[in-house]
């Protein structure tokens, strides 16, 4: 959703609540400047974590290896006892 800065200013609480409750970013457009986006702190933290994982070659390699073992059914099988911990 995109709203003008004037709409955003007039209905600030409504738009912030909507961004938080619906976990959807809100684009705010400005006539004489750059647009900006409003997202919840929780969604921002999630985005930052995703960017960190995607930029970390070691983590991405571990994920790729795990996916490969899952696909060819060669991964480690957890015992029922281990699940109870």
Write 12-15 long-range contacts (CB < 8 A, 24+).
none
85 pLDDT more than 70: no
**pTM summary value:** 0.71
75 pLDDT more than 90: no
Cβ neighbours for 75, distance < 8 A, ≥ 6 positions apart: 66, 69
Name the residue among 72, 44, 69, 49 with its Cα closest to residue 59: 49
Q: What is the pLDDT of residue 16?
A: 97
Cβ neighbours for 16, distance < 8 A, ≥ 6 positions apart: 38
What digits encode the pLDDT tens for the residues 11-34?
A: 999 999 999 999 999 999 999 889
What is the residue-averaged pLDDT of the chain? 94
Q: What class is the 1-39 domain?
A: alpha beta
User: What residues does CATH 3.40.1620.10 cover in the chain?
Assistant: 1-39
76 pLDDT more than 90: no
Tell me the two tokens of residue 84.
Answer: 């109870």
β-strand 26-29 against 2-4: which pairing, if any? parallel
């Amino acid at each position: 959703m995109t709203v003008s800065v004037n709409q955003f200013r007039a209905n600030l609480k409504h738009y912030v609540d909507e961004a938080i409750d619906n976990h959807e970013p809100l684009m705010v457009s400005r006539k004489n400047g750059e647009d900006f986006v409003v997202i919840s702190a929780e969604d921002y933290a999630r985005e930052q974590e995703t960017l960190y994982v995607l930029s970390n070659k070691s983590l991405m390699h571990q994920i790729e290896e795990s996916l490969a073992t899952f696909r060819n059914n060669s991964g480690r099988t957890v015992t029922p006892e281990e699940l109870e911990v």
